[in-house]
């Protein structure tokens, strides 16, 4: 049993205090970041998006042990679904749709997000169904191929019917609108101003918190236990009566749902989607986040996601000028540096700390005795 | 042009592609057979070979401008092979050997990391733009019956065939080959028989890398382009070829490679007609993936292999 439930049971006040601190930090962070520069707020918003993606991939890879290298395909599906539902693309290219929606297609987010999630989940099950009996390496390659196939289709489905607008992508996507509040304008609040980026940050953080809640509840549920059982030993799990096929499909589907939701938000945020944003490299980036942080451990995954989305930006601001000073020119530009960082993270972590920076506490090992606790520490399993 | 002519032309193109895939697939299959690892970075070793050859050729051309094309190609290959072999040995020693007994996910994730590192290295050394690989051999078309070929294409087929025969002889009749087969069968018992598994594994990686280097130079010659990301697609397709033929099985990789080349060429040639213009030849890369899925679902052991994909 993980130590977290114990401590919140025995020391609810400290848990409450911790929650309050975290909530305060999250609320105040974009205001601080804005003072440093709007680019940092954008980084924070993307960090929240990546947290959602990482949590989704964590369900597939961390909980269920299914190495999925094509995860970004679900992100793409979510993004394109939102793009198609909330942009002039369909009305411009299909006269029948233009007739049916004379005011343009502007599906509100309470419909388009669930739709994006549902379609992504559908694709998840579609991917999962033929690969159920494949083990690690083959599964990885097939999912890799699937991810790239999605990108190829997105790139080429502009004839004979123009569904995705090919390499040019879909533009003029509606921003998020909640009631009368449009997220692409700044908003005055309590005498101050919240920029569009800050609004998006709050939205994404709220969504990420919901995702975290879902993941935590899943982890301790029967489904979560079933995932971990098939991760550890599929045959034993089957012998215990777990329906391996359905559980695996559930893992793919749920993981894909997270991807779909983040993808929809990404589309609204950027206002523009193209197949370029959904390459294999993105899948690998999300994978490195969960590997670095701690595969299968939710706090670790969040840590990994935040680290690997913030650190490259940080490097961009420091290494660039440093290189100019040392060499007089940029030897390694920031894109390359970013990739280098991900590659090094993967290799070094696997060699020296394969469980990640913040791994899950191991089964059957007693947590350290709480000094002020009235509960006896658990005996070794 | 009659439809039989198109068919023969596509078959020829398929053979050319297939020979390349076979060479690369051999690297995958040998490594998998011996250490049960998909060497994700194999395609990037190919890429490094191609780019090294490019630089070597440029250097040679600078030093002695009148050199004939085929000498330059030889120079390119002779430069690419040691670089790829060395790279592969370093990767094996540093990234794969410590994880030989680790759970399944670890070596695979490390391999992905290595692949990225190689691409980054290439980006730093050669930049991110697509570089032109010079046309070294005569581009004049040669007609063989209804098909047109070039010297480069014929060279690809011939060189691949020679290399594959040599590899088969090596694996079947030499001491190293016997050691490789023994280690692939059961490394511990092979060690008891006096085989040094580390040395044999290193040799396997080295041979695979040399093949990838040659394949890389020829791939770059065929498509006249070289860049840091060029190894990904051929790598993926060659892996499909290896699985198609039966992973771990050397003749299987050769068969799988040629077969995949044929499927791809014929598919790309006829998909327009088959799908009434809905799908064009820009979906060519999808074929390999479809083949992979079909093989893994219907016959995971491949055409010639006995290993099964879902071993517990």
pLDDT digits (tens, 9 = 90+) for B12-21: 999 999 999 9
User: How many A/B residue pairs have CB atoms within 8 Å?
Assistant: 125
- A3 Cα to chain B: minimum distance (Å): 26
CB contacts of B98 in chain A (<8 Å) are 351
Query: Hey, what's the torsion of the CAs at A240, A242, A243, A246, to 10 degrees?
Result: -160
Residues of B in contact with A280 (CB under 8 A): 232
Chain B residue with CA closest to A161: the answer is: B278
Q: Between A65, A135, A149, which is nearest B286 by CB?
A: A149
Q: How far apart are CA B63 and CA B65, in angstroms?
A: 6
d(CA A179, CA B15): 62
Question: By the CB < 8 Å criterion, does B112 face chain A?
Answer: yes
Q: Are B156 and B218 in contact (CB under 8 A)?
A: yes
Option in B98, B236, B293 nearest A130 (CB)? B293
Q: So what's the pLDDT on residue B172?
A: 92
What SS3 class is residue A215?
A: helix
B232 and chain A in contact, CB less than 8 A: yes
Among A162, A329, A336, A349, which would you mutate to test the B interface (most chain B Cβ atoms within 10 Å of its Cβ)?
A336
Structural contact between residues A299 and A309, judged by C-beta atoms closer than 8 angstroms: no
For B104, name the nearest residue in chain A, comparing CA atoms only.
A136
List chain A residues with CB under 8 Å of B128. 335-336
pLDDT of residue B277: 65
DSSP line for A97-140? HHHH-TT-----HHHHHHHHHHHHHHHHHHHHGGGTT--HHHHH
Rounded CA gap, A314 and A279, in Å?
23
> What is the reported pLDDT for A380?
46
B289 touches chain A (CB under 8 A): yes
Chain B residues in contact with A158 by the CB 8 A cut-off are none
Interchain CB distance below 8 Å, B124 and A336: yes
Count of alpha carbons within 13 angstroms of residue A243, beta-carbon side? 6
Backbone angles phi, psi at A107, to 5 degrees: -65, 130
Most B-contacting residue of A138, A156, A166, A275 (CB-CB within 10 A), to test interface: A138
User: Smallest Cβ distance to B102: which of A331, A335, A354?
Assistant: A354
Residue numbers of chain B with a pLDDT score lower than 50:
1, 308-312
Say yes or no for a CB contact (<8 Å) between B113 and A345. Answer: yes
Chain A contact for B102 (CB, 8 A cutoff): yes
Q: In this complex, do A136 and B119 lie within 8 Å of one another by their Cβ atoms?
A: no
DSSP H helical ranges for B127-196: 151-173, 175-185, 187-192
> B143 is written with which tokens?
């007609």
Burial B261-280 (b: 16+ CB within 10 A, else e): bbbbbbbbbebeeeeeeebe
| Shortest Cα distance, chain A CAs vs residue B67, angstroms | 33
Report chain A (381 residues): mean pLDDT per 10 consecutive residues.
Answer: 52 83 85 82 93 95 91 94 88 81 81 92 91 83 88 83 84 84 80 83 93 94 94 92 94 95 93 89 91 92 93 82 76 82 89 88 67 51 44
Q: Does A245 touch chain B (CB under 8 A)?
A: no
Tell me the chain B residues in contact with residue A291 when contact means C-beta distances shorter than 8 Å. Answer: 109
What is the four-CA torsion angle of A171, A172, A176, A179, rounded to 10 degrees? Answer: -160
pLDDT at A26: 86
Contact A117, A127 (CB under 8 A): no
In tens, the pLDDT along B181-235 reads 999 988 889 999 999 999 999 999 999 999 999 999 999 999 988 999 999 889 9
Distance in angstroms (rounded) separating the CA atoms of residues A129 and A143 = 12
Chain B nearest-CA distance from A377, in A, is 31
Chain B contact for A145 (CB, 8 A cutoff): yes
Give A151-159's long-range contacts (Cβ < 8 A, gap of 24+).
A151/A73, A151/A76, A151/A275, A151/A278, A151/A279, A152/B282, A152/B283, A152/B285, A152/B286, A154/A76, A154/A80, A154/A275, A154/A278, A155/A275, A156/B280, A156/B282, A156/B283, A159/B280
Q: Which residue has 């390499």 as its token pair?
A: A167
- Which residue from A135, A149, A280 is facing B309, i.e. has the nearest CB? A135
Backbone angles phi, psi at A319, to 5 degrees: -70, -35
A125 in contact with B at a CB cutoff of 8 Å? Answer: no
CA distance A127 to A122: 9
Enumerate the residues of chain A whose CB falls inside 8 A of the CB of residue B123.
336, 339
Q: What is the pLDDT of residue B92?
A: 95
Cβ–Cβ below 8 Å for B309 and A350: no
B289 chain-A contacts, CB cut-off 8 A = 145-146, 148-149
Please give the backbone phi and psi of residue B149, each rounded to the nearest 5 degrees, phi first: -135, 170
Nearest to A149 by CA among B235, B300, B287: B287
Residues on chain B touching A67 (C-beta within 8 angstroms): 105, 108-109
Chain A contact for B53 (CB, 8 A cutoff):
no
d(CA A132, CA A245): 7
Distance, CA of B192 to CA of A313 (rounded, Å): 53
Residues of chain B in contact with residue A234, where contact means CB-CB under 8 angstroms, are 312
């Amino acid at each position: 049993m993980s130590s977290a439930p114990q401590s919140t049971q025995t020391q609810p006040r400290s848990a409450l205090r911790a929650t309050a601190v975290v909530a305060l930090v999250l609320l105040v962070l974009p205001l601080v970041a804005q003072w440093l520069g709007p680019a940092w707020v954008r980084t924070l918003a993307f960090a929240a998006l990546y947290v959602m993606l990482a949590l989704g991939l964590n369900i597939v890879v961390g909980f269920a042990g299914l190495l999925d290298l094509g995860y970004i395909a679900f992100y793409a599906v979510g993004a394109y679904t939102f793009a198609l539902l909330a942009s002039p693309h369909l009305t411009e290219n299909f006269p029948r749709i233009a007739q049916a929606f004379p005011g343009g297609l502007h599906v509100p987010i309470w419909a388009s997000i669930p739709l994006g999630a549902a379609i992504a989940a559908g694709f998840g099950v579609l991917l999962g169904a033929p690969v159920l009996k494949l083990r690690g390496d083959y599964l990885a390659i097939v999912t890799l191929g699937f991810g790239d196939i999605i990108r190829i289709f997105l790139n080429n489905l502009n004839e004979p019917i123009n569904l995705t607008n090919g390499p040019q992508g879909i533009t003029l996507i509606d921003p998020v609108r909640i009631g009368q509040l449009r997220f692409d304008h700044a908003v005055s609040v309590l005498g101050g101003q919240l920029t569009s980026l800050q609004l998006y940050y709050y939205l994404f953080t709220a969504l990420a918190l919901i995702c975290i809640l879902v993941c935590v509840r899943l982890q301790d549920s029967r489904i979560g236990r079933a995932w971990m059982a098939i991760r550890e030993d599929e045959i034993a799990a089957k012998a215990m009566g777990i329906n391996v096929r359905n559980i695996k499909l559930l893992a793919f589907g749920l993981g894909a749902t997270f991807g779909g939701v983040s993808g929809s938000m990404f589309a609204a945020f950027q206002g523009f989607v193209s197949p370029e944003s959904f390459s294999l490299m993105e899948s690998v980036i999300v994978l490195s986040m969960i590997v670095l942080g701690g595969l299968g451990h939710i706090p670790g995954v969040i840590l990994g996601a935040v680290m690997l989305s913030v650190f490259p930006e940080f490097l961009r601001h420091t290494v660039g000028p440093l290189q100019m000073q040392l060499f007089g020119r940029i030897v390694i530009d920031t894109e390359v540096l970013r990739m280098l960082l991900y590659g090094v993270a993967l290799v070094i972590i696997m060699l020296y700390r394969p469980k990640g920076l913040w791994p899950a506490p191991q089964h059957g090992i007693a947590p350290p005795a709480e000094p002020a606790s009235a509960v006896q520490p658990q005996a070794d399993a | 042009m009659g439809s039989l002519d198109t068919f023969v032309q596509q078959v020829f193109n398929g053979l050319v592609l297939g020979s390349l895939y076979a060479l690369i697939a051999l690297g995958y299959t040998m490594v998998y057979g011996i250490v049960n690892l998909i060497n994700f970075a194999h395609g990037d070793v190919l890429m490094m070979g191609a780019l090294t050859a490019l630089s070597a050729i440029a250097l040679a051309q600078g030093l002695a401008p009148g050199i004939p094309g085929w000498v330059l190609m030889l120079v390119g290959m002779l430069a690419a092979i040691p670089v790829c072999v060395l790279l592969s040995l370093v990767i094996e020693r540093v990234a794969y050997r410590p994880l030989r007994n680790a759970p399944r996910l670890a070596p695979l994730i490390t391999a992905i990391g290595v692949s990225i590192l190689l691409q980054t290295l290439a980006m730093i050394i050669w930049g991110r733009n697509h570089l032109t690989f010079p046309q070294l051999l005569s581009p004049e078309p040669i007609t063989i019956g209804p098909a047109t070929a070039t010297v480069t294409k014929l060279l690809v087929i011939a060189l691949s065939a020679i290399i594959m025969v040599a590899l088969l002889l090596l694996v079947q009749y030499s001491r190293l080959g016997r050691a490789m087969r023994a280690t692939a069968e059961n490394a511990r018992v092979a060690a008891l028989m006096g085989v040094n598994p580390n040395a044999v594994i290193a040799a396997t990686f080295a041979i695979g890398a040399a093949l990838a280097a040659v394949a890389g130079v020829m791939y770059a010659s065929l498509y006249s382009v070289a860049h840091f990301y060029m190894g990904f697609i051929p790598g993926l397709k060659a892996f499909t070829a290896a699985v198609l033929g039966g992973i771990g099985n050397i003749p299987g990789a050769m068969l799988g490679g040629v077969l995949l080349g044929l499927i791809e060429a014929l598919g790309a040639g006829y998909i327009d007609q088959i799908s009434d213009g809905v799908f064009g030849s820009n979906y060519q890369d999808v074929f390999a993936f479809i083949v992979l899925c079909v093989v893994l679902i219907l016959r995971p052991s491949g055409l010639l292999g006995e290993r099964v994909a879902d071993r517990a």
